Structure 1
Amino acid sequence: MEDALTEIPPPSRFFEEDLNNFTPPSIPLPSPFLVFSNPRPNEPLRPSLLILAISSPSLYVFHQLSSKILIGSLILPEIPFSGNSIEPSLGDKSCNIYTLNDADDSIILISVQCSVAAERSHIVAKLLIGDQIIPDRVLILDSVQSQNFRGKLSPDETYSFKLETASERKGLGDSTLLKGIDYFPSGSVVDGLAAALLGRCQMNNIKGTLCVSWPEFGGAVVSLVKSLLQRNVLPSLDLSINGDAGNEYSRFSWTKDHPFDSELYT
């Protein structure tokens, strides 16, 4: 007599696509949208520079900037508001939009403090660089993901690399945004929201630069990012960090969601 527990079951008489017919389709997520504190219908924002801070170090540097003014937010329906503070905080899961020059909105900063799923990256990029925000130039700040990097990255050393759109690379010499930074090594990959944003710039013929730094967390890489911004991008702004920066950044680093990399602890 055959043992029903150990006997290999017969193959299914249904194809996989037939089995899916019995599963109700998943409800599509609502589309993300932008909300502005002082909306201007039919009049998009046209900053000379749009900065998108995605990496932990860049978020921390701009959080310390007291002169920025909150003008709007990107709302992702899948990100709950519970746990967010009334005033913008590093611990919030939010995507706030600031102006760094209130007179004419010449520089706009977007702090992306929430995780954007890969399948939502393109629709979010289209919102941030689209009909309502039309920048002349874009700077994206993200971190190097060790699993996407071709080569060995030491956790004790800091690195920065860049990728540029064709229109940005044509402006050789002093007209390029980030000078003295090596290009991202061939064979290495950038994905997610940062890649979608740079691709959006390329499609719209916008001067765009993606700067990635390593490691993902730590005081040394914060200093590196701050130095790059002061030297090349925002020389007139005070990006100094107060005395309690180390403790606050340490707490932020451990609470921010990020993939675990076992090589950092071996």
Structure 2
Amino acid sequence: MQFLELKNFLDHKVEQYNRVDFIPNDPICIPHLYKKKQDIEIAGFFAAILAWGQRKTIINKCKDLLNRMDNAPYDFMMNHNDEDLKGLLNFKHRTFNDTDLLYFTSFFKKHYQQHDSLEQAFLLPKNDDEVLSLGKDQFKKHLTIEGSLNHFRSYFFSLEDFPHRTKKHISSPKQKSTCKRLNMFLRWMVRNDTQGVDFGIWKTLQSSDLICPCDVHVDRVGRLLGLINRRQTDWLTAVELTDHLKQFDANDPVKYDFALFGLGVEKIL
């Protein structure tokens, strides 16, 4: 396809898939169960991290998890006792188990005791040694989603005695991962979606800086449409895809996630 033809095709597919009837069959339906900002963040984070396998199974597992928290995740994180934690035991989805879940719970409690939003966990602290060593131009360049994701993983595992096994559930560009789940979570929280799908409740990170979640469907369709040329699939692949999508819409490149994912799931190409 020529540039304009491909743009029009993808724009049409965004309109087709980026609508409220997309929500019930996608993991994003989980944070949509809540109104309070912190509940949306916590439920959305779990839904994104557990987004592995069939969507129906993911949704059921997330509902099971939140039911163990009396469907009030923020209140649970802040006010749980040892007896409450017993209700989390034996939870499992794929390789995510109750050991991981208990650490996630400890992290959320610690974080929300100090911050009002999970967004702060993705923002580089101004007194960070790495930030202080950067010049003005370097600092501006460093304030990217790549820097945010690398910082988040380090911050997430800053509690003492974190389980080593849990590290596999939080990816980062330093590991050359596409960071599909975290990029999806960031899309949900950051992107200001007039169609009512994404939440747009975070205001410091910008939609123009987001990286397109690159799962198997998006990767396959992206290659078929010539939006990915890189042979392997890693962080640079997600960046390459996003750079191509920015040619269609520099302010909101990740809206095309709806188009690529929808085309992949329905196997239209």
TM-score range, shorter chain: under 0.3
Report the structure, 1 or 2, having the larger helix content: 2
Report the structure, 1 or 2, having the larger strand content: 1
Bigger relative contact order (CA 8 A; separation at least 6): 1
Structure showing greater radius of gyration is 1
